[in-house]
Amino acid sequence: MQDFYNILPLILVASGIVISVVIEILSDNSEKILPWFSALVLLSASVYSIMLMNNTGTIFNGMLATGGNVYIFHFIFTIGAMLIILGSIDYIKKYGSYFGEYYILILNAVLGMMIMASARDLFMVFIGLELMSICFYVLAGINRKKLNANEASLKYVLLGAFASGFVVYGIALIYGTAQTTSIDKIIAGFVPLSHNILFITGLFLFLVGFSFKIAAFPFHQWVPDVYQGSATTISGLMSTGGKAAAFSVLIILLSAVAPSNANVFRPYFAVIATLSMIYGSIVAISQNNLKRMLAYSSIAHAGYMSIGLASGNYESIAGIIFYLAAYTFMNIGAFIVISMIEGENDSKLQLSDYVGLNAKNPKLAALMALFMFALSGLPPFAGFFGKYYVFISAIEANLTWLAIVGVISSVISVYFYLRVIVLMYFKEPETSVAVHNSNYGVLAAVISALFVIVFGLFPGTLLDLITSFLK
Amino acid sequence: MNIYDIVFYLFAAITLVSAFFVVTTRNIVYSAFNLLFTFFGVAGLYVLLGADFVAVVQIMVYVGGILILILFGVMLTNKITNVQIKTGTLQVIPAVIGVLLLAGVLIFKVFLGTEWKSVKTDIPVKTTAFALGKLLITDYVLIFELLGILLLVVLIGAATIARREK
């Protein structure tokens, strides 16, 4: 029974899915019940993932890990998705397509992410990945009447299937050489295995598949179109939860090389990090559509986090997890604010629509400014410490040049984040049409803002917690 | 070269040649029929590896299910047989360089550089279905359950995409 108690967050979400399906079938009022029900499920799962954080171990014949940093990831996923659901309640009406499946699919995507973070077996990794990805493919195209949503969905499913193919081929080769799919056993035999070229090939294919999921540079082509075409709230979930889940798997791999100094991934991740940071920051400057701009910024952030993967020590693992927690809340907040300003039929997404926002709706302008400051990595917000810890880990791993590239591209990225703030506060609006906000959306954005501020003011608390689980 | 090798190369050739035609032919019906031989060849390879259950599933699911579905789709869709599938190639030179590079690494570094372990055994006569079934409800029971949820998601997703608009 203890096993079942230890994975209560997973069980809660999984049973929440089944109950949601029944509610959707039986109730005529499902569009009022389902958002609150799924938010409640996610909230209780997040509460339990905090409560059970100290019950570290593996269960089900070493299939899933519980407690520790895994549950920090579960907390990030569930709270993030809950905020997205709060933000969706009013947005989805404006977006022009309400279906109960929307909430069921979000719950399912969260379940997939949680399985990926928990997985201690390559089969589990793959099932979690597919569970999450399939939900995202459908959610991207939930409104069939919109052409660019269709485009986003189709592009994502085709490229995503290709990436999954890489992952499966990688898993097959890893299994062929290691003769086990258990991640712990592979990690135990990692050093002798890493001399086997077939194993390295498998690992490389596996990494390529996941580099696609984290939206790093050579595998980034889908990101701008998919984030722009999907519903804004869904883009928020894909760019945070999806990225965090993929990173959670990469971190497991990294923990194999962290104790020894046999980081075979270093050249790969160093190249990926450099290219993603520079490409994302520079291309984002020329974007006028805010969702597209955040998509390129998401590529750049994947680059900053990959610095941690390249340095490959315990500090970097803690840094990446902290960065992911911070990034999740600031990015979800930004996407929720954008979703409130967005008009019908994808209107009001341009930078020019943000001119003089402070005069039209000071609440939204203040929130947006906070998220932009945080994303650009200015202190005292959480984004600063995320970058700081990752850069420090790079310097400790003798990768100072990578940290310098990171700092340079952060400086470049300050330009396009702060441009939004300048437009909102220091330009006079051309029209004085008021911008309405949704109460639930503001609530979700305020909660995200609180997390961003708290993580920024007391970064040591979270970092010490993460580090204590690593040793 | 014994009879096992001959059968292996036969099945491998069937798989590769038909897969080549699946990609290159411009008629969707020809593509579908070539796919039949690809699946059949792969099933044969599974049998040679002693994976009888997987081979049967391969035939039942892919040939019996998916391929028939494709053919029905072709049959029931108006004028789809006349559609010229675009199979042109873009960016030929970068593609050729990339493929040659990857193939070179695969063949010379990975394929020739690996110490392949080969165990000399006869093809097992016993069926693997019993052992597989036992594993699925013991060691891998969680995976089995999660695949159930995955199927549920796929059903919900397909229904969501194909539904009637409100």
Q: What pLDDT is attached to residue B124? A: 64
Is the residue at B35 inside a domain? yes
Q: Which of A44-53, A57-66, A118-127, A443-452 has the lowest mean pLDDT?
A: A57-66
Instruction: Specify which residues A289 forms β-bridges with.
Output: A350
Overall domain count for chain A? 1
Question: Which whole number is the average pLDDT over A111-138?
Answer: 92
Q: What pLDDT is attached to residue B84? A: 63
- What's this model's pTM, rounded to 2 decimal places? 0.90
How close is the nearest chain A Cα to the Cα of B139, in Å? 6
Burial grade of A54 (CB within 10 A; 0-12, 13-18, 19 or more) = exposed
Same domain, B126 and B82: no
Q: Is B132 on the interface with A (CB under 8 A)?
A: no
Is the residue at B30 inside a domain? yes
Q: What pLDDT is attached to residue A279? A: 92
Q: Which of A226-240, A315-329, B48-62, B115-129 has the lowest mean pLDDT?
A: B115-129
Is the residue at B101 inside a domain? no
Angle separating helix axes A459-470 and A382-396, nearest 10 degrees: 40
Is the residue at B113 inside a domain? no
Same domain, B87 and B137: no
Q: What pLDDT is attached to residue A448? A: 93
d(CA B129, CA B60) in angstroms, rounded, equals 15
Average pLDDT, chain A: 88
Is the residue at B130 inside a domain? yes
The DSSP result for A295-362, as a single string, is: HHHHHHHHHHHHHHHHH-SHHHHHHHHHHHHHHHHHHHHHHHHHHHH--GGG-S-BGGGGTTHHHH-H
Residues A163, A213 contacting (CB under 8 angstroms): yes
Give yes or no for residue B75 having a pLDDT over 90: no
Find the domain containing B9 and state its range: 1-95
DSSP class of residue A220 equals -
Does a cis peptide bond (omega within 30 degrees of 0) precede residue A362?
A: no
Is the residue at B21 inside a domain? yes
Residues in chain B: 166
Q: Is B103 on the interface with A (CB under 8 A)?
A: no
Residues A114, A70 contacting (CB under 8 angstroms): no
Q: What pLDDT is attached to residue A325? A: 92
Average pLDDT, chain B: 83
Q: Which residues contact A378 (CB under 8 A, 6 or more apart)?
A: A384, A414
Question: 81-120 in A: which are within 8 Å (CB) of B?
Answer: 97-99, 101, 104-105, 108, 111, 115
Higher-confidence residue: B119 or B25? B25
Written as one letter, the residue type at A114 is: M
Same domain, B4 and B60: yes
Q: List pLDDT tens digits, range A228-261.
A: 988 899 999 999 999 999 999 988 877 766 666 5
User: What is each CA distance from A61 to A4, A121, B140, in whole angstroms?
Assistant: 13, 10, 8
Same domain, B48 and B13: yes
Same domain, B7 and B60: yes
Angle separating helix axes B3-24 and B28-48, nearest 10 degrees: 160
Question: CB-CB: which of B146, B159, B161 is closest to A127?
Answer: B146
Is the residue at B111 inside a domain? no
Instruction: Provide the token pair at A198.
Output: 């077939």
Q: Do the Cβ atoms of B141 and A105 come within 8 Å?
A: no
Residues A390, A406 contacting (CB under 8 angstroms): yes
Q: Do the Cβ atoms of A197 and B156 come within 8 Å?
A: no
Instruction: Provide the token pair at A138.
Output: 């459908």
Q: Do the Cβ atoms of A144 and B165 come within 8 Å?
A: yes
Closest CA to A382 of A451, A323, A462, A456: A456
Written as one letter, the residue type at A92 is: I
Q: Which of B101, B102, B147, B149 is the best residue to mutate to test the A interface, defined by the most A CB atoms within 10 Å of its own CB?
A: B149
Q: What pLDDT is attached to residue A116? A: 92
Q: Which of A131-140, A161-170, B59-68 has the lowest mean pLDDT?
A: B59-68
Q: Which of A101, A121, A157 is the best residue to mutate to test the B interface, defined by the most B CB atoms within 10 Å of its own CB?
A: A101
Size of interface A-B (CB pairs under 8 A): 73
Find the domain containing A171 and state its range: 2-468
Residues in chain A: 471
Overall domain count for chain B? 2
Chain B residues in contact with A153 by the CB 8 A cut-off are: 161
Q: List pLDDT tens digits, range A332-385.
A: 999 999 988 887 777 788 888 888 888 888 888 899 999 999 998 888 888 888
Is the residue at B115 inside a domain? no
pLDDT tier, A262 (very low <50, low <70, confident <90, very high otherwise) = low
Given the cut 0.90, state whether the ipTM is greater than it. no
Phi-psi region of A126 (alpha: psi -120 to 50; beta: other; left: phi over 0): alpha
State the CB neighbour count (10 A cutoff) for residue B96: 11
d(CA A283, CA A292) in angstroms, rounded, equals 10
Residue of A nearest to B143 (CA): A124
pLDDT tier, A465 (very low <50, low <70, confident <90, very high otherwise) = confident
Question: CB-CB: which of A63, A131, A201 is closest to B150?
Answer: A131
Q: Do the Cβ atoms of A60 and B142 come within 8 Å?
A: yes
The three-state secondary structure class of B121 is coil
